[in-house]
Copies of this chain bind each other. A is one copy, B any other.
Amino acid sequence: MTNTQVTLVQIDNYGPWTVTPEPRREADLQTLQSRLYADVSQFVGARDGYVFFTRFDNMIAVTNGLDLDDHRLLQESVGNRYPVSLSLGVAADPDPVEALSEATELVQDAGSAQDRNRREILGGEVAEGTGGEDVGIAHFDVNDATGEYTDELNAFDSFIEIEQAYAELMRYMRTAHRSLSFFVGGDNIIAVCPELGEDAYHDAIAHVEEDVGVALKVGVGSGSSAHAAGMDAKHALEICRAEETRIEFSR
């Protein structure tokens, strides 16, 4: 059984900051957001977690293996180097959606995302590592995205296809299979999942193909950390590529 530790990373009072005293240059906001994400990703990634950029002002991370001191250090380090600060909520649960809900509440309960007096909240409890398969990761990509889309359509029309597939998959995996799915660039989507059988993945892929006409394949892995599970999933996806299959589980 999985026991996924999820961290909500929320920039404090970011919306108002972006337009105070005047709207700031968009290129600077984009640079700030993407570099902040990169730094959080390096910090968490070096401890075998995953961070997803999501909305950038609200990032979602899988942080099994990071304790509250690690979270505190991340918060301090960002506070030392950026003009904005972070609030962090942490929770663990066999159900990733439930973990995220608890992590979100910890931050929401301390005040609004646009409350200028709510700063650098740090709340929650970390998972006791079981050393077992606490995290499940499914790595999807689009079948022959380069041949079907990138090399054929204009770059926006390719992106529309991928985006429609993502929007549908994220919604379906959330409601039907209690999984959190994130677009991670290219034609890749990574989902944080509870234990699911092959039929669940078959169902999700079929649903997206019927609904928006985009063919996905998926490699599934599990492990004691997001990185361990994710590498398993990547290798399983390589097997899909090599053997032209649509669903592979690691081992």
Contact = CB atoms under 8 A, between A and B. Distances in A.
B43 A155 contact: no
Given A31-B41, A41-B31, A15 B60 contact: no
A166 to B, nearest CB: 8
A140 interface: no
A115 to B, nearest CB: 9
A100 B53 contact: no
16 contacts: A15-B186, A24-B80, A25-B227, A26-B227, A29-B185, A46-B77, A54-B155, A55-B186, A80-B83, A105-B154, A108-B151, A112-B147, A114-B146, A156-B174, A160-B170, A163-B167
Contacts of A227: 25-27
A157 B166 CA distance: 14
Contacts of A170: 159-160, 163
Contacts of A152: 108
Nearest to A112: B151
A45 B23 contact: no
Given A46-B46, A80-B24, A146-B113, A160 B171 contact: yes
A128 interface: no
B80 A25 contact: yes
Contact of A51 (B27, B53, B180, B238): B27
Contacts of A174: 156-157, 160
Residue of A19, A37, A105, A147 with highest tally of chain B CB at under 10 A: A37
A157 B29 CA distance: 24
Interface of A: 8, 10, 14-15, 18-19, 23-35, 37-39, 41-46, 49-51, 53-58, 60, 73, 76-77, 80-83, 97, 100-101, 103-105, 108, 112-114, 146-147, 150-160, 162-164, 166-167, 170-171, 174, 180, 184-187, 190, 227, 230-231, 234-235, 238
Contact residues of A: prevailing secondary structure: helix
Contacts of A80: 24-25, 28-29, 32, 83
